[in-house]
């Protein structure tokens, strides 16, 4: 019913039925919100009611999904993990601290584009942007970009593509037990492979910290999270005590990679495509 471009189909439905409409997707009730006033009601006024993400098959490949950041259900753990990540990983000072590394990556990409332009070579800008963002994000999170020993980027990409596929069991829950499309099996296999690689990187970080060889490791997310392992954090809610363990750490870092890398790649790709379609705007942009 929603077709190839669901956002357009939903827009047509909203024009007919109004800014807040209720749909049943298989067995799952869904609310579609299509005006900024209604969006404010859902995302601000009643934010906590809608803060949990849907319980989809992809969120829990090894029953660890809810320990992460993105798929945690709203509650004390949700508040805890968001606070840990906001204070320690996503603060303005942290963004500032990583600026030199971003600048260096960008500088080398610009130089390689200049060289290609001078030689009048054709450049696949989407690939170049993808490599730049991946390299920057992986260095920021794991302290390393390219690593010939693993195919982490390939596995993460495969996982994202599996997560994005239509899984019937998300809409008809009892189908989940049969995994007719084989998606849950693939997701679990991939998740395990990603976790195994992260386990190796965690061990190397721990070793580097022990040897106090902090040059390459002292600024990445993994290093910061390792320092928080088993450290209780002050919470307003004293009833609940949470400690980040090794498993949490790996799932949170996987969530971070998913959340940061491919969102940025898609947005930049989109901006470049639109600029190329509108040369008038390129002329207005700063040199």
- What binding mask, one character per residue, do residues 26-65 give for ligand HEM by CB under 6 A, x or -? ----------------------------------------
Least Cα distance to 220 among 140, 132, 162 occurs for 140
By the rule CB under 6 A, 260 interacts with ligand HEM: yes
Instruction: Cite the DSSP H helix spans in the chain.
Output: 6-17, 36-40, 76-88, 92-97, 99-118, 125-142, 152-164, 183-210, 221-228, 246-277, 279-284
CB of 140 to ligand HEM, least distance (A): 7
Among positions 239-258, residues that touch ligand HEM (CB under 6 A) are 256
Rounded to a whole number, what is the distance in angstroms from the first to the last CA of the chain?
46
Please select the residue that binds ligand HEM; options are 10, 23, 82, 235, rule is CB under 6 A: 82
By the rule CB under 6 A, 160 interacts with ligand HEM: no
Pick the stretch among 115-123, 150-158, 205-213, 260-268 that binds ligand HEM (CB under 6 A): 260-268
By the rule CB under 6 A, 263 interacts with ligand HEM: yes
Distance CA 193, CA 171 (A): 27
By the rule CB under 6 A, 9 interacts with ligand HEM: no
Q: What value, to the nearest 5°, has the Cα angle with vertex 191 and ends 164 and 248?
A: 110
Distance CA 145, CA 136 (A): 7
Q: 18 or 75, CB closer to ligand HEM?
A: 75
Which residues bind to ligand HEM, rule: CB under 6 A?
69-70, 82, 256, 259-260, 263-264, 267
């Amino acid at each position: 019913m929603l077709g190839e471009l669901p956002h357009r189909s939903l827009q047509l439905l909203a024009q007919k039925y109004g800014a807040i409409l209720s749909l049943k997707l298989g067995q799952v009730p869904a609310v579609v919100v299509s005006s900024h006033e209604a969006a404010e009601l859902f995302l601000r006024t009643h934010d906590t009611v809608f803060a949990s993400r849907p319980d989809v098959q992809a969120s829990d490949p090894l029953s660890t999904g809810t320990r992460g950041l993105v798929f945690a259900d709203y509650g004390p753990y949700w508040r805890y993990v968001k606070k840990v990540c906001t204070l320690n990983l996503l603060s303005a000072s942290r963004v500032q601290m990583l600026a030199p590394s971003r600048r260096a990556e960008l500088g080398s990409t610009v130089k390689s584009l200049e060289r290609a332009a001078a030689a009048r070579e054709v450049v696949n800008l989407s690939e170049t942007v993808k490599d730049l963002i991946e390299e920057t994000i992986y260095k920021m999170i794991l302290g390393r970009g390219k690593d010939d020993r693993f195919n982490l980027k390939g596995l993460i990409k495969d996982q994202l593509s599996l997560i994005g596929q239509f899984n019937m069991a998300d809409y008809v829950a009892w189908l989940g037990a049969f995994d007719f499309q084989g998606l849950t099996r693939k997701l679990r296999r991939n998740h395990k492979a990603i976790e195994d690689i992260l386990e190796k990187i965690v061990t190397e970080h721990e070793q580097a910290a022990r040897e106090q060889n902090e040059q390459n490791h002292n600024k990445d997310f993994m290093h910061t999270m390792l320092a928080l392992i088993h450290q209780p954090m002050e919470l307003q809610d004293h009833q609940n005590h949470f400690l980040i363990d090794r498993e949490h750490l790996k799932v949170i870092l996987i969530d971070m990679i998913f959340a940061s890398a491919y969102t940025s790649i898609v947005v930049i790709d989109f901006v470049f495509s639109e600029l190329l379609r509108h040369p008038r705007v390129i002329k207005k942009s700063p040199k």
